[in-house]
Amino acid sequence: MAFCRELKTEPYIAVNSGLGDARNAAEEAEYANGSAESPMGKLRARNVHPEAYGVKFWSIGNEMYGDWQLGHMPLDEYVKKHNAFAEAMRAVDPAIKLIGVGATGEWSQTMLARCAEHMDFLSEHFYCHDRPGLMSHVRQIPDNVRFKADMHRKYQREIPALANRKIPIALDEWNYWYGPELYGQIGPRYFLKDALGIAAGLHEYFRNTDVFYMANYAQTVNVIGAIKTSKTAAAFETTGLVLKLYRQAFGSLPIKVTGDAAPLDVAAAWREDRKAVTIGIVNATREAQTLEFSIDEAKLSGQGTRYIITGKDPNAHNEPGKSPGVIIEEEPVKEIENRLKAPPISVCVYVLDVK
């Protein structure tokens, strides 16, 4: 909790719905959110934190569809367990938001049909592997995002329990996962080509915000992480650079992009103060590309900034303690009218000032 507060991020806690029971989960929620007079709140106060933490997001279990999970059980039994957990936890704090375990197909369909009143969001996960061909490797991520979105729109139309209730997706694990484990268990290296895929995935989330409530890259440090460490150094992975760039530079108010930008992947958004338009471009080709565009709702000043993530080849990468092979480059741009340039094998974010 202290770490989340330091990062100014919302905590998201998963309770144990495998070997744990509803009472355990309710007590955990009370420990986090109950008053200092409640049984578990008193324990929290004795542990030097009398104020409630106010944890909003709670996942009931993780990947309980998988036989690798302790306490895995048949779907018919699990939906009953989920509902019992939800009732016990909401009795402690009715304001919490509950995320159920989903897996596109029968598991998600059944959870939505039988647990709709006992959750606010449904979790989905996906991981992609190495694939020959730069464009094919990159497109795996946005293709998976779009598949999840399309399936959940279908569920929303067809499942009676959702007729008057919408359950958005919490896509709380997504990433590439392949290659030698250089940074401990499940610690593969990431390359420039993976960064392009993550950026294209972000674009696809932006295009489907009617379905996705949250999308949480998995994970942070070393274990399929956006940061990799040695005993004496740390470095942003290429994928971590993309997440950093879009968090710091890309706008938060999506702009609808029309037309055919192929082979480029393009997304756009206003900055919150509406003083700049941001345009993200993924060029998963080995040639420089030019994007011709027009903006109906703004007049550009012609000035701005371009941020670029690129490298000599798709396998460019970073390593703790060594000079980075991939960085975020920043440069001013002038006299922008209706054309933007994207170098080969690159992610670009343009921040264009408006009059």
- State which amino acid sits at residue 100: G
Query: Tens of pLDDT along the chain (355 residues)?
Result: 999 999 999 999 999 999 999 999 999 999 999 999 999 999 999 999 999 999 999 999 999 999 999 999 999 999 999 999 999 999 999 999 999 999 999 999 999 999 999 999 999 999 999 999 999 999 999 999 999 999 999 999 999 999 999 999 999 999 999 999 999 999 999 999 999 999 999 999 999 999 999 999 999 999 999 999 999 999 999 999 999 999 999 999 999 999 999 999 999 999 999 999 999 999 999 999 999 999 988 899 999 999 999 999 999 999 999 999 999 999 999 999 899 999 999 999 999 999 9
Chain centre distance of CA 292: 29
Could you give the residue range(s) of every CATH 2.60.40.1180 domain in the chain? Answer: 265-354
Q: Which CATH architecture has domain 2-252?
A: Alpha-Beta Barrel (3.20)
Enclosing H/E stretch for 304: strand 300-310
Domain 265-354, CATH homologous superfamily name and number = Golgi alpha-mannosidase II (2.60.40.1180)
| Residue 145: predicted pLDDT | 98
Q: Say whether the peptide bond before residue 180 is cis (omega within 30 degrees of 0).
A: no
Q: Which residue has the tokens 């542990």?
A: 47
| Residue 296: predicted pLDDT | 85
- State which amino acid sits at residue 9: T
- State which amino acid sits at residue 299: K
Task: Provide the 8-state DSSP code for 94.
Answer: T
Q: Nearest-5° angle of CA 187, CA 193, CA 194?
A: 40
Residue 212 Cα distances to 129, 165, 216, angstroms: 23, 15, 11
Q: Say whether the peptide bond before residue 69 is cis (omega within 30 degrees of 0).
A: no
Q: Counting runs of H as helices and runs of E as strands, what totals does the chain give?
A: 8, 16
| Residue 231: predicted pLDDT | 95
- State which amino acid sits at residue 212: F
